[in-house]
Amino acid sequence: MKINHFFLFIISFIIFSCNGQTSPNVKTIDVTSYSKKIKATPNAQILDVRTPEEYATGHIENSDNVNWLSENFVLRTDKYDKTKPVFVYCKSGGRSAKASNKLAELGFTTVYNLDGGMLKWEAAGLAKPDTKIIGVCPQEYAELLKSDKKVLVSFYAPWCAPCKKMEPYILKMQKEMTDKVVIIRLNADENKTIMQELKISELPTLVLYENKAIKWQKSGFVSEEDLKTQLQ
């Protein structure tokens, strides 16, 4: 049976187009390169595309809050010079990637997206020092680790997709494995101080302690089976 090659070409084009290709005008770069480029750019245009509430908890110096989730996002970008570099970031890189592609679509010629977002920026020690303690302090965290059992600390966020996927079985283990392990869940958005202290730059992050010493640590999705293996 003969297959129409033109038909195959059209199907391939459609599939390729639907894969969400990144604009060539968008460059996702690591935190060190991002910081250096900002310093080397006079009057750098820096857009924090998180919510105003997130922005208020701490942001990159001289950045403007242009909420990606706001209905007037496009309208608020009109005041920026499209011919000059624009630096975009969010909490972990998801929203800023979408916002960066939108900016390129609007005609911005050079868009730098921060890989890993504010989590990476803070973990790299680039955030402006903040004496205000947000959430659990280091001393309180140390108290949480005092147990004759293993202690698993799960750092998560309500907006984190893999965190949501893992939540049901972590809560289940929290109830069913009390004889072997103490499981503590900490919302990263509400515990900024300890996140910075431990230099946690990705979510979810699981840290397993035994006798207050780290036995195992993993960032990113962990299956129920693999997690059970670690907790045995």
% of residues, the chain, pLDDT over 90: 82
* Confidence (pLDDT) at 21: 54
Fold annotation for 138-231: Glutaredoxin (3.40.30)
* Confidence (pLDDT) at 22: 72
pLDDT one-digit tens code per residue, 50-79: 999 999 988 999 999 999 999 999 999 999
pLDDT reading at 15 higher than 50? no
pLDDT one-digit tens code per residue, 178-223: 999 999 999 999 999 999 999 999 999 999 999 999 999 999 999 9
Q: Give the start-to-end residue ranges of the domains of the chain.
A: 22-123, 138-231
Whether a cis peptide bond, with omega within 30° of 0, leads into 138 is no
138-231 matches 22-123 in CATH topology = no
pLDDT one-digit tens code per residue, 104-137: 999 999 999 999 999 999 999 998 876 788 899 9
Which CATH entry fits the domain spanning 22-123: 3.40.50.300, 3.40.50.1100, 3.40.250.10, 3.50.50.60?
Answer: 3.40.250.10
Q: What is the mean pLDDT of the chain?
A: 91
What residues are labeled active site?
160, 163
